[in-house]
Chain A
């Protein structure tokens, strides 16, 4: 509307410490309005901490953050008028029914009782929860609860919606439902910041992705840019005869045009490949050279592989310390 268009989110050097833990350690983000922006990272990367600061729930220890131009600390009321949050752990009231939860949200945002009831009923309907509207939320399944949680966030449709790992723990069907909802919200004009641990989810929904690890952004860009840096697919080959690995490595490097990574197992190797068709050529070349793979697989890169590529080591290794602390706490 106004020019230049205000960014939905802009942060600069954003930091949050918990004792010795640098949960968020200098994050710069620029999220334009009207897109799905995904923050991708393993357990303990700082995703929830980042969202809680942007949503005015947590005070940053350093740096600045604005939402639609409003400072999250100094102007938190203005920020709160534009945003909605669906936290990582269901933020609905177990002691009320599903419908009552939505009525509550409508009332607290200024709807009259009749308007709040109507809006609540409409949303229950749209989210396929009408049959459970009068049941206590404590009896809902994980997928139903998540949908209700998202419904509660859009009773008054926000300009910016934060979704913290909206599909973790859901079965594939429930996950698809949540994805549908996200796309519908986007089409309705809501900007969405979504955190996830799954690369395919970010790939499916996001226009831009920031990969975070240990509180910092280690890669940022459009989905295509990110994939280009990681490769479209991962080829994994296991040979019958480990003695042939050097020869196979040379052949594959040549055919695929990318470096081949030798695995710990002396018969295994892998590569990240841009172009699917080259995989077939490369496998053909191996066969012609009488090198027999015992098995091979072609998979889309997982989060682990993104990390392997971006950082040179696995996500697990890095966050092991944090995960341990979390479990102990």
Chain B
């Protein structure tokens, strides 16, 4: 460590004389670079994988055996209804992590440096969200794989399951913009998870993920019907079981689009104004 430094002067100087000016990074290239950054960080701390794998597994086992008998006569019968729904929960809980991760990230000194570089700034957030798609994929594979092992038999076959995964990933990506926005404005990561859980748990339970809405009071049925998570669960169920009509899937996609159109620009605007607080 000591010996190498004696020449620092000449060698740094030698490097500095090449006053190269590479062309400005394109938005796509900047986003890919941020994605790479996320993947490298993940690679160095693979322990994060435990959360992604365990959380869906625990909820799946818990609810299947806790509610299965009471709701549907037997756990395995309940599983046919429940699994496509819990798949929604698996990815949605991952989107909350997105907000926490963005907040942790933004409060790092390195973000100050990013802000002074002349690249397309939303790439710093977009790269994170694209990276999270990998998490969704792992969480979904985990959930569905366990479901199959426990006796879930999708009528839609492998194509149906893949289509459902595709729709759920699109949906989760859109929802992650909501938590990205919360992640940008929150002062500390703990507050992100706190706020997010307050939003997410009522939405999860006030949906058709766990039970059919027919037994609920009518006012609640209305709420369940407009809940975007219900649209996602309906699409997931219909695709996995091969019964999907056009609107079953369409509502989930429309909900995704609306959420993205509202929250993506909001998150980016908040991020930019945070720059010059």
B243 to chain A: closest CB distance in Å? 45
Q: Which of B4, B14, B17, B110 contacts A91 (CB 8 A)?
A: B110
Q: Give B6-30 interface residues, CB cut-off 8 Å to A.
A: 8-17, 19-25, 29-30
Whether A122 lies near B8 (C-beta < 8 A) is no
Q: Chain B residues near A55 (CB, 8 Å)?
A: 116
Interface 9-residue window, one of B33-41, B90-98, B157-165:
B33-41
Q: Chain B residues near A111 (CB, 8 Å)?
A: 22
Size class of the contact patch on chain A: 35 or more
Whether A80 lies near B8 (C-beta < 8 A) is no
Given contacts A107-B29, A131-B1, whether A94 and B108 have CB atoms under 8 Å apart is: yes
Whether A136 lies near B116 (C-beta < 8 A) is no
Interface core residue of B12, B21, B24, B114 (most chain A CB under 10 Å):
B12
Whether B109 lies near A188 (C-beta < 8 A) is no
Q: Chain A residues near B44 (CB, 8 Å)?
A: 95-97, 136
Whether B40 lies near A184 (C-beta < 8 A) is no
Whether B115 lies near A57 (C-beta < 8 A) is yes
Interface 9-residue window, one of A32-40, A152-160, A210-218, A300-308:
A152-160
Q: CB of A22 within 8 A of chain B?
A: no
Given contacts A55-B116, A91-B113, A108-B25, whether A157 and B4 have CB atoms under 8 Å apart is: no
Q: Give B92-145 interface residues, CB cut-off 8 Å to A.
A: 108-110, 112-119
Given contacts A156-B20, A180-B9, whether A56 and B276 have CB atoms under 8 Å apart is: yes
Whether B22 lies near A109 (C-beta < 8 A) is yes
Q: Which residue of A lies closest to B42 (CB)?
A: A95
Q: CB of B258 within 8 A of chain A?
A: no
Q: Chain B residues near A57 (CB, 8 Å)?
A: 112, 115-116, 275-276
Q: Chain B residues near A310 (CB, 8 Å)?
A: none
Q: CB of A240 within 8 A of chain B?
A: no
B111 to chain A: closest CB distance in Å? 8
Per the bound structure, the CA–CA distance linking A263 and B89 in Å amounts to: 73
Whether B5 lies near A128 (C-beta < 8 A) is yes
Q: Chain A residues near B114 (CB, 8 Å)?
A: 108
Whether B8 lies near A180 (C-beta < 8 A) is yes
B126 to chain A: closest CB distance in Å? 13
Q: Chain B residues near A92 (CB, 8 Å)?
A: 109-110, 113
Given contacts A154-B16, A188-B13, whether A90 and B5 have CB atoms under 8 Å apart is: no
User: What mask results when residues 62 to 77 of chain B are scored 1 for a CB within 8 Å of chain A, else 0?
Assistant: 0000000000000000
Per the bound structure, the CA–CA distance linking A90 and B23 in Å amounts to: 27
Q: CB of A261 within 8 A of chain B?
A: no
Q: Chain A residues near B4 (CB, 8 Å)?
A: 128, 130-131
Given contacts A87-B113, A96-B40, A189-B19, whether A127 and B12 have CB atoms under 8 Å apart is: yes
Whether A110 lies near B23 (C-beta < 8 A) is yes
Interface core residue of A87, A89, A109, A111 (most chain B CB under 10 Å):
A109
Per the bound structure, the CA–CA distance linking A127 and B8 in Å amounts to: 6
User: What mask results when residues 263 to 283 of chain A are scored 1 for a CB within 8 Å of chain B, else 0?
Assistant: 000000000000000000000
Q: Chain A residues near B41 (CB, 8 Å)?
A: 93, 95-96
Q: Which of A85, A97, A131, A177 contacts B8 (CB 8 A)?
A: A177
Given contacts A107-B29, A108-B25, A109-B117, whether A100 and B40 have CB atoms under 8 Å apart is: yes
A34 to chain B: closest CB distance in Å? 14
Per the bound structure, the CA–CA distance linking A130 and B5 in Å amounts to: 11
Q: Which of B8, B45, B109 contacts A126 (CB 8 A)?
A: B8
Given contacts A95-B41, A128-B1, whether A115 and B22 have CB atoms under 8 Å apart is: yes
Whether A156 lies near B21 (C-beta < 8 A) is yes
Whether B112 lies near A85 (C-beta < 8 A) is yes
Whether B25 lies near A109 (C-beta < 8 A) is yes
Whether A122 lies near B15 (C-beta < 8 A) is yes
A304 to chain B: closest CB distance in Å? 30
Q: Chain B residues near A190 (CB, 8 Å)?
A: 16
Interface core residue of A105, A128, A130, A152 (most chain B CB under 10 Å):
A128
Interface core residue of B9, B24, B108, B116 (most chain A CB under 10 Å):
B116
B56 to chain A: closest CB distance in Å? 24
Q: Which residue of B lies closest to A153 (CB)?
A: B113
Interface core residue of B1, B8, B41 (most chain A CB under 10 Å):
B8
A182 to chain B: closest CB distance in Å? 10
Q: Which of B5, B12, B277 contacts A185 (CB 8 A)?
A: B12
Q: CB of A298 within 8 A of chain B?
A: no
Q: Which of A59, A84, A93, A188 contacts B116 (CB 8 A)?
A: A84
A169 to chain B: closest CB distance in Å? 15
Nearest 4 interchain pairs by C-beta: A188-B16, A110-B22, A128-B4, A91-B109
Interface, chain A (partner B; CB < 8 A): 55-59, 73, 77, 80-81, 83-85, 87, 89-97, 100-101, 104-105, 107-111, 115, 122-123, 125-128, 130-131, 136, 152-154, 156-157, 173, 177, 180-181, 183-185, 187-190
A sample of 11 cross-chain residue pairs with beta-carbon separation below 8 angstroms, ordered by A number, consists of: A57-B276, A58-B277, A91-B109, A95-B40, A95-B41, A95-B45, A100-B40, A126-B8, A127-B8, A136-B44, A157-B19
